[in-house]
Structure formats: structure tokens, C-alpha cells
Amino acid sequence: QVQLVESGGGSVQSGGSLRLSCAASGYRYSNHWKGWFRQAPGKEREGVAAIHNAGNTTYGDSVKGRFTISQDNAKNTLYLQMNNLIPEDTAMYYCAVQTMSTSPTLQALSELRYNYWGQGTQVTVSS
């Protein structure tokens, strides 16, 4: 059974940085995507960043230039480096992995692409 455990969330002031980690177990790396999503209270979940096993990356418009997604396949760990945080980044952050093939037309940041999700880690940014 695939398990994803996020860590690294916390409270920071505007302009600060955090690094989120997502440790995966029971997961055999496949030629698919892994991603970070977030959901703020009262808002829909949105895609933040995604990385393909081959290394291609994509980012949501609101985090481009501030967030960096990376992976360590040897450690089965996904990371999200978040710099220059702003209050609007406050949300629960989730990692997700795709282990099954989906339509090739599905965007990398579409929730529909992912079939395993972590429990989330809270990020709070104060002004």
C-alpha cells in the first residue's frame, strides 16, 4: 500500500522560507508525475507544482519563481522549497503521486492525474 507522509510545514512571516518533504513508502517509482497541491479554507484545492520522474517540472502561476519542486528517487522523497512566502500561500499542502496511466491530455497539475495523496501539512504565513 502506498503511503505518503508530508512534513516541514509551520508558521513563518511574510518573506520567509519553508521546505516541505514528502516521504513515500510502498511506492514503486514509475514513469509518471508527482505533485504538490494546496487548499486554503473555503477555497478549492489547487495545483502548486509537479515533477515527472524524468525531471520535467511545471508550476502554478501564483508560485512561479518562488517555489521549486525536486525529488530524490534514491530516498523516495519529494520536496517543495518555498521562498518569499506571502500570506496568500497559507494553506494545507498535500503531496500526491500518479501510479497509473491517465489520458495524455490531462494537465500535470490536474488532481485527476493523481491516485495517492498524503494527509497534508499546514503552512501559515503571517504579514
Provide the β-strand partners of residue 20: 80
Write the pLDDT tens digit of every residue in 76-99. 999 999 999 999 999 999 999 998
Nearest to 109 by CA among 52, 28, 29, 31: 52
**In this model, does residue 104 exceed pLDDT 90?**
no
Q: Positive or negative CA dihedral for 53, 59, 64, 69? A: negative
Pairing between strand 121-126 and 10-13?
parallel
Concatenating the DSSP letter of every residue in 90-103 gives -EEEEEEE--S---
Give pLDDT tens digits for 26-39: 876 667 899 999 99
Helix (H) or strand (E) holding 51: strand 46-52
CA–CA separation, 35 vs 63, rounded Å?
A: 14
Residue type, 22: C
